[in-house]
């Protein structure tokens, strides 16, 4: 592959592997959320045993003659059939524009480099998940990976349509606390007030945190510094940046 600019060169040096994905179908889940079905171009076979929860790939888009890469989580990867889906929280931008237009037969280049998941040991008795629509596919893959584990999920929403998103919940084990975004402060306030009661024994919990970058940094610092949660019990990653 070519045309990925300096980012592509760096990923090659870091042993990134390139693939061509082919669109096989598309579904408008809500007015602001779209699922694209894809044939993987050999990606899952190459990954082998390293296919894992929250696994993601970098997609390459062209805009104004320049390459741009964005990361997306694999949804329901099936190595046997060589298929998976990707889900897009739609907004303004080159990736969302591509997703809106995607139809069977379209192709897109992808690079696998940087993805990973270290399962917490000991296994958590409760998952604490802090997320938003951008990280919903990863949340669902995490819930699938721990089907018998109780979970409390703080889910930041930006529109009424976000209430309809397909979260894979088991009502007997999972509790969702939806928080309107506003300027982002409400999610921080909710977690600061509500999370401590679940963390009286830090070694039994596991916090998976993925939302807007500044919010993620603030909450990760709160969990580590004020609640003394070990780094091994937190996975924090900023998924996007507020303008």
68-88 pLDDT tens trace = 899 999 999 999 999 999 999
120-170 pLDDT tens trace = 888 899 999 999 999 999 999 999 999 999 999 999 998 888 888 989 999
pTM above 0.85? yes
- Given a cut of 50, is residue 91 above it in pLDDT? yes
Q: Which domain holds residue 72?
A: 5-112
Residues 229, 129, 141, 149, CA torsion sign: positive
pLDDT, mean of residues 24-41: 96
Dihedral pair phi/psi, residue 172, rounded to 5°: -75, -20
Q: Which residue, 112, 146, 176, sits at the end of a domain?
A: 112
Neighbours of 83 (CB within 10 A): 19
Cβ atoms of residues 56 and 75 within 8 Å: no
Q: What's residue 5's pLDDT? A: 63
Decide: helix, strand or coil at residue 34. strand
Q: Which residue, 52, 77, 112, sits at the end of a domain?
A: 112
Total number of domains in the chain: 2
Tell me whether the omega of the peptide bond preceding residue 122 falls within 30 degrees of 0, making it cis.
yes
Quick check: is 151 in a domain? yes
Q: What's residue 6's pLDDT? A: 47
Q: What's residue 119's pLDDT? A: 83
Q: 140 and 105 share a domain?
A: no
166-184 pLDDT tens trace = 899 999 999 999 999 988 8
- Given a cut of 50, is residue 14 above it in pLDDT? no
131 vs 203, which has greater pLDDT? 131
213-228 pLDDT tens trace = 999 999 999 999 999 8
Q: 9 and 104 share a domain?
A: yes
Quick check: is 118 in a domain? no
Q: Which residue, 60, 82, 112, sits at the end of a domain?
A: 112
**What angle separates helix 185-194 from helix 213-221, to the nearest 10 degrees?**
20
Quick check: is 93 in a domain? yes
């Amino acid at each position: 592959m070519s045309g990925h600019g300096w980012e592509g060169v760096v990923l090659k040096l870091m042993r990134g592997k390139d693939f061509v994905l082919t669109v096989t179908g598309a579904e408008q889940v809500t007015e602001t959320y779209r699922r694209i079905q894809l044939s993987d171009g050999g990606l899952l076979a190459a990954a082998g045993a390293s296919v894992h929860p929250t696994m993601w790939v970098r997609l390459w888009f062209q805009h104004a003659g320049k390459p741009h890469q964005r990361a997306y989580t694999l949804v329901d990867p099936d190595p046997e059939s060589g298929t998976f889906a990707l889900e897009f929280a739609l907004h303004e931008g080159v990736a969302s524009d591509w997703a809106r237009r995607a139809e069977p037969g379209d192709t897109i280049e992808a690079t696998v480099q940087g993805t990973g998941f270290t399962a917490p040991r000991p296994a958590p008795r409760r998952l604490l998940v802090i997320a938003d629509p951008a990280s919903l596919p990863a949340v669902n893959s995490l819930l699938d990976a721990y089907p018998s584990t109780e979970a409390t999920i703080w889910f930041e929403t930006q529109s009424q349509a976000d209430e309809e998103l397909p979260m894979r919940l088991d009502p007997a084990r999972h509790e969702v606390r939806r928080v309107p975004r506003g300027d982002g402060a409400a999610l921080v306030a909710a977690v600061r007030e509500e999370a401590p009661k679940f963390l009286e024994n830090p070694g039994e919990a596991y916090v998976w945190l993925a939302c807007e970058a500044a919010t993620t940094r603030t909450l990760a610092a709160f969990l580590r510094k004020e609640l003394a949660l070990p780094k091994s019990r937190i996975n924090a990653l900023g998924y996007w940046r507020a303008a």
